[in-house]
Structure 1
C-alpha cells in the first residue's frame, strides 16, 4: 500500500539524489513545497508530486445539472 508521502527511493528517483541535503536543494530550487522531519528528511506529498508533474488522476468532469424548472409560476398579470 502506498502512503501519502513519497518513500526514500521515490524521492531519490524524483530528485536524482540520495543525500538529503541535495534533495532539499533540488526541491527548493524548483519551488516545491515540502516539510522536513527532525532528522532533516524532506517529506513530499504524493498528490502534490502528481499535481506538479501534471499527471492526470483520471477524474472526469461531470456535466452541470439541467436548470430547475419551477413547478408553478405566479400569475401577476392582475396585480396593480
Structure 2
C-alpha cells in the first residue's frame, strides 16, 4: 500500500496549463490545438476540450528527438525453436 501513496502528481505526468500555453503561444485551447496539430504533436483532449500533452513526450519533442524512431519497427517474438 505504501507504493500507492507515492504516485506522481498530474503535473509530473503532463504539462501544466501554463507550460502548454508557453509552448503553443496562446492561452486559448482552440489555438493550442491548432498549434499542436500544425507542429505534429500528439495530444489528447479532456472532456472540457483542453489539450493534454505528456511531459516526457513534450521533453523529447522540445529536444528534437524523433519519437516515432523510438518505436520498434517490427513486432518482436521470442525464438522458441531451440526448446524442442
Unpaired runs of 5+ in structure 2? 1-8, 66-84
State how many pairs are aligned. Answer: 56
Q: Which structure 1 residue ranges, 4+ long, deviate > 3 Å from structure 2?
A: none
Q: Which residue of 2 aligns with 1:28?
A: 37
Higher helix content, 1 or 2 = 2
Cα offsets for 1:44-77 (capped at 9, x unmatched)? 0010011111179xxxxxxxxxxxxxxxxxxxxx
TM-score of the aligned structures, taking structure 1 as reference length: 0.64
CA RMSD of aligned residues (A): 1.8
- Out of 21, 32, 42, the position equivalent to 2:51 is 42
